[in-house]
Structure 1
Amino acid sequence: MSLRPSIFANFQRPLYLWNLMIRDSTNNGLFTETLKIYSFMQHSCVHGNTFTYPLLFKSCTNLLSIPHGTMLHGHVLRLGFQADTFIQTSLVDMYSKFSIIESARKVFDEMPQRSVVSWNTVISAYSRVCLMDKAMSLLKEMLLVGFEPSASTFVSILSGYSSDLNSFVFLWQGVSIHCCVVKLGFVCFEVSLANSLMGMYVQFGKMDEARKVFDFLDEKSIVSWTTIMGGYMKVGCFIEAFKLFNQMQRQSIDIDFVVLLNLISGCVQLGKFFLASSVHSLVLKCGCGEADSIQNLLIAMYANCGNLTFARRIFDAIVGKSVLSWTSMIAGYTRSGHPSEALNLFRRMVRTKTRPNGATLAIVLSACADLGSLNTRQDIEEYVFENGFESDQQVQTSLIHMYSKCGSIKKAREVFDRVKDKDLTIWTSMINSYAIHGMGDEAISLFEKMTTSERLKPDAIVYTSLLLACSHSGLIEDGLKYFKSMQTDFGITPTIEHYTCLVDLLGRVGHLDLALDTIQAMPLELQTRAWGSLLSACRIHDNVKLGELAAVKLLELSPGSSGSYVLMANLYTSVGKFNEANTMRNLIDGKRMVKECGWSQVKVSG
């Protein structure tokens, strides 16, 4: 109900009636009306009390009105409420939610008396902006002055641990909080606290510790289940997540929207059609099949399973297609190796009222790169510039990739040079462009500029591009140097991509024994692709003996792949061992394996 001035014609009313009106409007979400009531109350020369001002501060917070908040703070000071713990705590909360942490802390420090809620509020303020060292310092101070933390204290702190704080120091802090929680006996009966503990461990990828907390809980909430399932999905343990879901069903726990999102996300990663169709049936049974976020994930799920027909059926059934729906389907075609279909769908999209965003254009540019058509490339490039997307970093990154894949490294560098605030992704894209063009020196020069002049910290992805550049250019000393420095200088653990680049580099220049030593030093689960690189190098350098060893290892680790037999047959052919080569080819037929055909594109009459 809109409050009119006539309602306040009789200003001479007691404070408790004004407070009731302020409470009702605030509880009903009419925060602007709350401030109007207070204004009329001021005109009647009635001053607020302990009950009035916390509600007013809450209204200011919801309206994000800093001017009104500071004005009310002045009123509180004039009226002498500095010693009122309730009002001062509300002030701390208001300033913290405005992200004015200095003011929140100043009010807190000047409070003559504090409650546990006061401490929790300022701790929560620091946690909200991820200043975890200050939050922990306050927790220690709270314990020293004799206040016993509540479950809410620890929930506030644990909420501050995000994936951006993925370091040993912060993990140690989280573990110390867990110890304190156990010592105070909270975790036995506080489900929300246990959920926060699990969430903290999930952020750090420590699923064994998260699972211990989960298993310790006698009564689990739906948040408990979704937190642990989401954690397993995050670290790639999809089978364990689906086992938990089966356990949920056996215990007749209601399935909510988040559970379904987790299940579909797992199917997107696994790419198993039978499992995907089962989850889709469950979605329909739960009546969530028409939710926009669910439909877009279903499109991605089926596309990742290689079933573009089902993905397209879902897309076509969506009545009011959002930009995310179009982008999901275009991405499905692009990532499944159907760039022409992706571009046709994009052309259809631009004829509708739905406008593409930066993510859509980035995917379309990736499709152009895969297609390699200069005419199509020019059409999409014109659309990018005509519609003001040339400054979008996603689009800029994809433009660099597209130009390099279409053979125009000069145009790729022009786009790179135009970017004002280059992030790591932009640098990586340009370094990778030099790598695939065999321009190792240029890639190294750009990497050195990135790490020295720009002082950007490299990640595992940019090192993959750098090692690829060294490999394609035969820069063995540089490759070995960077492979070592990524571990010693930046603490990056080598992945299969790094090992494969290194083995490929050593193999190309004929250091086959060193390449073999590198593979044998690798974890067993990472060796398959590296043995393939070594076998290819053996064919180049006609080393049959080492090639046979590599082939045996490949067949042990990947017995169903025809590529190993083909590489070995080519090696035998190169040294004149035609009988052995025929034996390899016959094995492909005997094992009913299919050799993938090579293909190329030729542009004829447009």
Structure 2
Amino acid sequence: MASGGRSRSGALLADLLQSCIDKKCLSSGKLLHGRLHRLNLLTDTFLFNRLIELCSKCADTGYARRVFDRMPHRDVYSWNAMLGVYCKSGKLEEAHELFEQMPERNAVSWNNVISALAKSELEGKALDVFYEMVLQGIMPTRFTLASVFSACGALSNVACGGCCHGLVLKIGLDNNVYVGNALLGMYAKCGCYEDAARAFGDVRDPNEVSVTAIMGVLAQTERVQEALHMFRLMCRKGIHVDSVSLSSVLGLCTKGVNEEPDAADGEGSMLSLCFPLGQQVHGLSAKLGFEKYLHLCNSLLNMYAKSGDMNSAEKIFNNLLPKEVSIVTWNVMIAGYGLKSQTDKAILLLHRMQSLGFEPDDVTYINMLAGCIRSEDIATAQDMFDSMSVPMLNSWNAMISCYFQSGHDAEALNFFRKMQFQGVQPDRTTLAVVLSLCAGMGHLEFGRQVHTVSLKGTSTMDVYVASGLISMYSKCEKADLAQLVFSKMTEIDIVCWNSMMGGLALNSRDIEAFFLFKEMQQREMRPSQFSYTTILSSCSKLPSSFQGRQLHALVAKDGHLNDVFVGSAIVDMYCKCGDVDGARRFFDAMPVRNTVTWNEMIHGYAQNGRGHEAVSLYRYMVESSEERPDNITFVAVLTACSHGGMVDEGMGIFNSMQQDYRVEPTLDHYTCIIDSLGRAGRFNEAETFIEMIPNKDDPIVWEVLLSSCRVHGNVSFARIAAKELLRLDPENSGPYVLLANIYASLGRWDEARTVRELMNCNKVVKNPGYSWIDIKSGEQTSLEDDLKMVEG
């Protein structure tokens, strides 16, 4: 007899069955089953349990059930083994029926059912079974709690997960790494990242799973550098590094190289930190023998492709045999070429991929189309789209975006129509792009149609689409319709608030924009940088500067003073309210300035009659700043020269535009020079200059010259300018009025009367002017007082 009372033949059969289990050899197991019958070992429950275990390994539920049914003696292990067979094969109804028939259940029985339900995406039922298990007094094990935490994470049921966390502490499993990892994962899936970090801290001996999980948590909270530091710590502590850990780190490196550098941290761009680490991980993966693991190779390719190093990506790719790659591998390479705008290489790779028997999927085509969009290769994008048998929605969206970004707005709208004719339902991305098209083209009627499409089949408006509608109606000068869309929103995010404020400001309804900003604050919606930029622009057009100063204080309170766009808006606000010195003090204190900031300050000096300071600041900009002057810069400084009587200074700056900065002069620049020459009374030079400009038939050129003639009483040039204006714009009352005023100022009343009679004869009507003032009586008026004054 063998030890434990089993015969020598029984012990031999047990060893043979174990060998079959290890090799998953069911045919040999069936032969051993027959041997059991011949040796009359039918009462050896242990051997039959092993036979059921073999059936489980080989996924043969039918044979396992026949063995189970014919067992003369079953113990709890027999029932659990059969239950495990059903659970593993996903036959949950049979598993439930068997579970109900079990004469005795232990923790393994409950674990089998809970785990099977959780893996089959029946997490709610898994939790119900767990509650029943606890009520029956069965102590959960680490395997039970791991499945339960997985179910809680999938359901985002942090309340249940928190209760189970308490149970973990109560039964003393808080130091178990298996439970700790599951707890960490649950909190991460529920978005409780601080709790996840604490759960990681409670794991006494973290393993590679723990570290990989916490790196994912840190990445979710945009703490990429901390996540990478965690990986370094993992290596220093000698924690086992597997291919999954390395793939996770490469994902972090990829995320890092695509992030914008933080200008305030002084640590340089994330690219300079993450890309070298990615290269080190590449070397480590080769050292550990993981270089042929496909998922790791794909991660390496993705990291190199996203960082723009296609040479390294090509070396890895070329070392892989065709049988070692997947469709994901090809897609990553095509996406990499797309990011580099190398559509020719992407097309060659696509053809090579197809020649080797790989069929492109939706991701392949999307990556190809994205590459075409970046390189503005519409023809190739269209050919690629036409080659698709059934284009998916993402492909339609990509084509619409391709036409939109290439400036082919009409073609983009036609593509949208074609999409509708083929019965493809647009999503929020489609509608947002098409609404942007309508806004840019001023295509109100088409925008209304898109509005109708967006409401089809839904009772609530998507905030993303609503923001596009508000912007479209606003840009089409239908602010009332924009407000109607806004008022019907049940949930409004900061983007919608900003769109509505921007729309009101765009339509010169600045007081309403300010009231909307106050309402947003009352609803405890925190303003963003764009909110402040928009409302500061509105404040600069209001009759009172008091509101602008209040906003400046709010910006400081919310910590947006260092934002260059908000800062530029503050400079503009102070300048337009006449407080140029206040604007300059803020300008000098700004840690970061861009070209817009310099332009606002220069223009502020110009508009407030401080031309010499404007020119001085311009000189300082070109000599000490990294920002190059642009079209707007030259308009501002030339305006300053014109208003300040610095004619020769202005001519010198004008001549330097093309020579030194390669900025082509526009009508605004030419007009500034004509205005400057006219103000100085240098009419002969102005006439010569007008002959040189390419757009001398624009009315503004002659309006500027006519205004200067009035200042200097130059009748001869005034007649020439008025004649040109009447030729270009016969219904404009401006030249009649200006010419009549010139005659009147010189006491030539008969000629003035003649001009007025000619104006009446031609039925030209002068538009009435208006003005308003800001009334102050001891104290600064509030915005509400200003509004009452305007309405009164």
- TM-score band (shorter)? 0.7 to 0.9
Bigger relative CO (Cα 8 Å, ≥ 6 apart) = 1
Partner residue, 1:61:
216
CA distance in 2, matches of 1:410, 1:35: 51
Q: What is the 5 A alignment of 1:577-592?
A: none
1:226 corresponds to: 397
Kept in 2: contact 1:539–1:567 (CA 8 A): no
CA-to-aligned-CA distance 1:425-469 (integer Å, 9 cap, x gap): 322221221222243332232233233323223444434433433
Indicate whether 1:424 and 2:598 are aligned.
no
Q: CA 1:233 to 1:460, structure 2 compared with 1: closer, same or farther past 3 Å?
A: farther
Are residues 1:405 and 2:576 paired?
yes
Which residue, out of 412, 426, 450, partners 1:241? Answer: 412
Which residue does 1:512 correspond to in 2? 686
Looking at structure 2, the residues matched to 158 and 313 of structure 1 have their Cα atoms a distance apart, in angstroms, of 45
**Equivalent residue in structure 2 for 1:533, among 701, 716, 724:** 701
State the alpha-carbon separation in 1 of the partners of residues 530 and 395 from structure 2.
Answer: 33
Aligned-CA RMSD value: 4.7
- Residue 498 of structure 2 corresponds to 327
Please give the alpha-carbon distance, in whole angstroms, between the structure 2 residues aligned to 1:104 and 1:26: 25
> Separation in 1 of the partners of 2:186 and 2:558?
45
Q: Residue 7 of structure 1 aligns with which residue?
A: 141
Q: 1:384 to 1:25 in 2, by over 3 A?
A: closer
Aligned residue in 1 for 2:540? 369
Please state whether the residue corresponding to 1:456 is helix, strand or coil: coil
Match in the other structure for 1:15: none
Show the 5 A alignment for 1:74-93.
92-93=250-251
Q: TM-score with structure 1 length normalisation?
A: 0.74
**Contact 1:566–1:585, Cα closer than 8 Å, also in 2:** no
Structure with larger Rg: 2
CA deviation after TM superposition for structure 1 residue 258, in Å: 0.5
Equivalent residue letter for 1:299: I
1:259: how far off? Answer: 0.8
Q: Is it true that 1:157 corresponds to 2:312 in the alignment? A: no
The answer on whether the counterparts of 1:264 and 1:297 sit within 8 Å (CA) in structure 2 is yes
The alpha-carbon deviation at position 299 of structure 1 amounts to 2.6
Task: Give SS of 2:394's match.
Answer: helix
* Residue type of the alignment partner of 2:736: A
Instruction: Indicate which of 160, 176, 184 corresponds to 2:352.
Output: 184
Counterpart in the other structure of 2:611: 440
Distance 2:418 2:564 in 1: 44
Report deviation, 1:249. 0.9
Amino acid at match of 2:391: K
CA distance in 2, matches of 1:34, 1:374: 48
1:125 aligns with one of 297, 303, 312: 303
Contact 1:504 1:537 in 2 (8 A): yes
User: Residues 68 and 502 of structure 1: is their aligned pair in 2 closer, same or farther, counting only changes over 3 Å?
Assistant: same
CA spacing shift, 1:183–1:313, aligned 2, 3 Å: closer
How does 1:188-207 map onto structure 2 within 5 Å? 189=360, 191-203=362-374, 207=378
Give the C-alpha shift of residue 246 in structure 1: 0.7
Shift in alpha-carbon separation, 1:496–1:105, aligned structure 2, 3 A: farther
- In 1, distance between residues paired with 2:589 and 2:203? 57
Can you list the C-alpha shifts for 1:64-119, whole angstroms capped at 9, x where unaligned?
A: 344553455568x886x8xx878755654454446532122023135167457655
Match of 1:109 in 2: 283
Distance 1:230 1:396, change over 3 A: same
Question: In structure 2, what residue type is equivalent to 1:569?
Answer: Y
Counterpart amino acid of residue 105 in structure 1: Q
Which residue does the alignment assign to 2:14? none
CA contact (8 A) 1:515 1:534 kept: no
Residue identity in the other structure for 1:124: N
In structure 2, the CA distance between the partners of 1:497 and 1:265, relative to structure 1 (3 Å rule), is farther
Bigger drift between 237-246 and 204-213 goes to 204-213
Structure 1 residue 390: deviation in Å? 5.0
In 1, Cα distance between equivalents of 2:203 and 2:520: 54
Return the alpha-carbon distance in structure 2 between the equivalents of residues 179 and 270 of structure 1: 33
Distance 2:581 2:210 in 1: 62
Q: Tell me, what secondary structure is at the counterpart of 1:600?
A: coil
Compared with structure 1, are the counterparts of its residues 409 and 280 closer, same or farther at alpha carbon in structure 2 (3 Å cutoff)? Answer: same
Q: What's the CA shift string for 1:331-365, capped at 9, x where partnerless? A: 32222112222333334444443343443333333
Q: 2 CA distance for matches of 1:181 and 1:597?
A: 68
Aligned partners of 2:459, 2:374: CA distance in 1, in Å? 28
Task: Check if 1:336 corresponds to 2:507.
Answer: yes
Structure 1: runs of 5 or more not aligned: 11-17, 162-169, 556-560
Q: 1:308 aligns with which of 479, 491, 507?
A: 479
In the aligned structure 1, how far is the partner of 2:394 from the partner of 2:335? 17
Give per-residue Cα distances to partners, 1:51-75, cap 9 Å, x unaligned.
xx69974763355344553455568
Question: Counterparts of 1:95 and 1:417 in 2: how far apart (Å)?
Answer: 37
Note the alpha carbon deviations across 1:152-199, whole angstroms, 9 max, x for none.
23344256x4xxxxxxxx65xx35534644663669945534433433
Structure 2 gaps, min length 5? 1-125, 145-176, 220-226, 258-273, 710-716, 744-750, 782-792
| Worse overlay, 25-34 or 102-111 | 25-34
Sort the Cα spacing of 1:420 and 1:537 in 2 relative to 1 into closer, same or farther, 3 A.
same
Hey, what's the Cα distance between the residues in 2 that align with 1:438 and 1:9?
79
Letter in 2 for 1:540: S
Q: Report the equivalent of 1:167.
A: none
TM-score normalised by L of structure 2:
0.58
In the other structure, the counterpart of 1:453 is 624
Structure 1 CA distance for aligned equivalents of residues 401 and 769 of structure 2: 40
What is the match of residue 261 of structure 1?
432
CA–CA separation in structure 2 for the residues paired with 1:211 and 1:236: 15
- Counterpart CA distance in 1 for 2:519 and 2:205 is 60
* Separation in structure 1 between the aligned mates of residue 282 and residue 414 of structure 2, nearest angstrom: 47
Query: Aligned partners of 1:506, 1:151: CA distance in 2, in Å?
Result: 65
- Is the 2:343–2:371 contact (alpha carbons within 8 Å) kept by the matching residues of 1? no
Pick from 710, 733, 736 the counterpart of residue 566 of structure 1. Answer: 733
- Take 1:55 and 1:588, find their aligned partners in 2: how far apart are those partners? 85
Contact in 2 for aligned 1:54/1:91 (Cα 8 Å): no
CA distance in 2, matches of 1:596, 1:209: 54
* 1:426 aligned partner, one-letter code: T
Paired AA for residue 243 in structure 1: N
In 2, the alpha carbon distance for the partners of 1:59 and 1:327 equals: 36
Please state whether the residue corresponding to 1:371 is helix, strand or coil.
Answer: coil
What fraction of aligned residue pairs are identical, expressed as a percent? 20
Amino acid at match of 1:103: L
Among 453, 467, 471, the alignment partner of 1:296 is 467
Measure, in 1, the Cα distance between the counterparts of 2:276 and 2:429.
36
Specify whether residues 27 and 318 from structure 1 end up closer, same or farther in structure 2 by C-alpha distance, changes over 3 A only. Answer: closer
Q: In structure 1, what residue type is equivalent to 2:733? A: V
SS in 1 for 2:586: helix
> 1:414: Cα distance to partner?
1.8
Aligned-partner Cα distance in 2 for 1:486–1:138: 43
Q: Mark the CA change 1:384 to 1:216 in structure 2 (over 3 Å): closer, same or farther.
A: same
